[in-house]
Structure formats: C-alpha cells, structure tokens
Amino acid sequence: MGLRIGKSVMLHFGNELEPKFIFAGLALLLLIGPLLKWYINAMTQIDYKLPKYYYLDLIPFTSVFILSFFVTKDWFSTKNNEIIILFASILIFIYLHFAFYIFKASKQLKTIKKSYSEGERTKSQKAILLWLNLLIVGFVFIWISYFLNIIEDTVPYIVGPLMYSLVVYFLSFKAFQLKVADLDGNVFKKNEDFELFKQLSDLIVKGNLYLEPNVSLSSLGKLINKNTQKTSELINQYANQNFNDFINHYRILEAKKLLLEHNKYTISSIAYDVGFSSLSSFNSAFKKFEEITPSSYRKQHIPNG
C-alpha cells in the first residue's frame, strides 16, 4: 500500500516518471488481493498456514511486474493500436482482479459470521470480525477511487492516492484501537466457555441469585466449578460487562417492575428487595442504566402515583 501511494504521489508531482515505476505500481494492485485473502484466512482460521500452491495466486502479479521492466517511454507515446489495447486490457484486468478478491473476501466473512451467531461471539471474535469488515469496506473505497481514475475527467488523479492514504490511516487507527495485532484465528477455537456462560446466566436469572445482597464472583464460580478469575472472564467476554454491572442489570430490571406494580412501596424498600445494600448504591446504579433516578422513573410512568 505504501509503495502504491508513493508511486501515485511521484506520478502526480514529479516530472516524467519512468513508465517502469508506473507499471510496477499497477502490478502491486495484483498483490493486494491475494494478501487480503491470506490475511482474512489467518485471522479467522485456527493455526492457518499458507496452502501448498499459494504461489498460484501470485502468477498475475509476477507476470505484470516482470513485464513492467520492458516498458519504455516509446510505448506510452506510440499510437500503435495493439499496444493501446494491451495496456487497456491489462488495466481492466488489474481492477477486475482486485474487485474479485474484495468480493471473495466479503463472502468469506459473511460465511464466518453465520458460523458464529452474535450472542455466542467473544470480545476477541467481535473485534476481529469488526476489523475485517472495516478492512473490506476500506478496500471498496480504494477500488472505487482508483477505478474512477481510469474514466477520463471523472475525478482528478490525485483523489485516488488521497483516498488510499486516508483509508490506510483510518484502518491503522482502528487496528490499534481494536488491538488486532494481538489476535489471530486461534480466538475461534471451539471451547466450553459459551456453554458455561449460559449455565451461569440461567443460574443467576432462573434462581434469582441477583436478588441476594451477598452474591459474589466467588459464590458464582463455585456453582460452575470455576475460579473467580475464570468466572469474571466469562462475564466480560459474553456479557460485555463487569461483574457488578452484570448483576445490577438484572436488579434494575426487577426494580423497574416493582416501581410500577407496587407504587406504594418506598424507593428504599425496593432497593433492598432487589439486592442492593444501600439506597445510594441503588440510586447510582439505576441512574447509570436508565439515566434518571428511581423516583423520576416512577413519576414519569405513574404521574398520579
């Protein structure tokens, strides 16, 4: 990508850039597609290794790159129809080749998403799937900007490398934000964690454990025969919440029902009934989830209550 941007900038701002560099830059587009394919495989498959005949994907790039060494300025200035047709054919092939790999990558990502329903995905899996989705969308923008360059007078040439650069900077930022450099396809290993989390959730909800003031990570861990650290990890991964928020979420749901169904109950009694040890902690938690206080919530829904 860096080489592509560099070539485009030199072509726009430089004087009489050697045709070899122009053609070699175009050849690099034939390399991005296979790299995208292998990268998506590596990020979604366990212990991925390049296939035995991976070099077959490199034949188009290698052919055009070698051809670039034989391109001269005379070729560009000639009015020979055969050379013009050859250049046009190679250019169209390059852009169709790139589009093909983008399309193939999007289909592959769609298949992976179907294999892992949203509720079963861990934080790491969600991060990878979001990242790969952004990557493909970014490549679509790049492809559109460069494709428009070959349609005469549609957009200025410099728009292509500018779009390219912006996409690369954006993707670099998102990669850092999502910490994808620390992840790979091994996060898709099948394990018992999701089943354990479902078991834990069922115990908490069906057994009304969230109503117990003394419920803790340690007590929950004993129910599923896991230590505190593992129990916390399960909640973080699948509920996307810490332990306190996970428990308080169910407590606030219960409190909302009591506030409306039993409008004569005091706020403090409801707070203790749903498992909070103090009125202040109940008010804080309620406001965090509902963005209003319990008393305001009751007044909104029971104006004359």
DSSP line for 198-229: HHHHHHHHHTTGGG-TT--HHHHHHHTT--HH
Token pair listed for 128: 């990878």
Between CA 245 and CA 196 the distance in angstroms is: 19
**pLDDT of the residue at 252:** 93
In Å, how far are 10, 21, 236, 241, 282 from 248, measured between CA atoms?
59, 62, 14, 10, 9
**21: DSSP letter:** H
pTM of the model: 0.62
192-238 pLDDT tens trace: 787 888 889 998 988 889 999 888 999 998 888 889 998 998 898 88
What is the set of domains in the chain, with CATH numbers?
2-188 (no CATH), 193-301 (1.10.10.60)
44-71 pLDDT tens trace: 998 889 988 899 999 999 998 888 888 7
The 3-class secondary structure across 254-287, one letter per residue, is HHHHHHHHCCCCCHHHHHHHCCCCCHHHHHHHHH
84-137 pLDDT tens trace: 787 788 888 988 999 999 999 999 999 988 887 777 777 888 899 999 999 999
Exposure pattern of 228-248 as b/e (b: 16+ CB <10 Å)? eeebbbbbebbeeeebeebbb
